[in-house]
Amino acid sequence: MNICMYGASSTDLEQIYYDAAEALGRRIAARGHGLVFGGGAQGLMGAAARGVAACGGRTTGIAPRFFDKPGILYKQCSEFIFTDTMRERKELMENMSDAFVMVPGGIGTYEEFFEILTLKQLGQLNKPIAVFNVKGYYDLLNELLETTVSKGFMKASCLDIFGIFDDADEMLDYIERELESPLDLSHLKNI
């Protein structure tokens, strides 16, 4: 299985976030899975890729050509694919992945997560989606989504199409279980 990871490229974070991402990468590889990611050498993307590589796992980096600058991309990937645009990058990441994990990140990470979540809610894909809630980073996101439901802007069942986890192995267990038995999404949207 290939797990797509969305996450920060920042080099200015607390060490706990890098450590958690690298440990997640190690767990992904130890469980026999590959990593598909945005190709960044720095931040949580780079940490996860180094973790996967340290345990002999497969990494696929995907980035637009304009990111190909010194120190930006993790060139030690098992496979690296260049695209012309960010839109092409996201489409390849989606198509090459069996599941999606969001680790802490900023606006780009949020955008990627919400796009894939929307596609699942609309029944356009049915792949596991998980949020790695390192140090409670996504507690407020969870609260926001629950408020969205309580105010009537989203069906409560939408909260069931992804999981939020503090523990990497519990998150990977969730992903593996959902791959074995995909969710029934027919009740979410009538298009």
SS3 call for 148: helix
SS3 call for 130: strand
| Spatial separation of the C-alpha atoms in residues 104 and 101, rounded to whole Å | 10
Q: What is the DSSP letter of 56?
A: T
Instruction: Give the full edge-to-edge strand order of the sheet including 34-37.
Output: 79-83, 59-64, 34-37, 2-6, 99-102, 129-132, 163-165
Q: What is the DSSP letter of 40?
A: B
Residue 117 neighbours by CB distance under 10 Å:
18
Confidence of residue 68 (pLDDT cuts 50, 70, 90): very high
Q: What pLDDT score was predicted for residue 186?
A: 84
Residue 22 parent element (H or E): helix 15-30
Q: What pLDDT score was predicted for residue 188?
A: 80
pLDDT per residue as tens digits for the range 18-64: 999 999 999 999 999 999 999 999 999 999 999 999 999 999 999 99
| Spatial separation of the C-alpha atoms in residues 60 and 80, rounded to whole Å | 6
| Spatial separation of the C-alpha atoms in residues 24 and 172, rounded to whole Å | 9
* Closest C-alpha among 141, 125, 138 to residue 178: 125
- Give this prediction's pTM: 0.95
Q: Name, in order, each residue with C-beta under 8 angstroms of 41's C-beta and a sequence gap of 6 or more.
A: 49, 71, 72, 73, 74, 75
pLDDT per residue as tens digits for the range 80-100: 999 999 999 999 999 999 999
Q: Is the separation of the CB atoms in 159 and 97 below 8 Å? A: no
Q: Which two tokens stand for residue 31?
A: 């469980």
Residue 82 neighbours by CB distance under 10 Å:
16
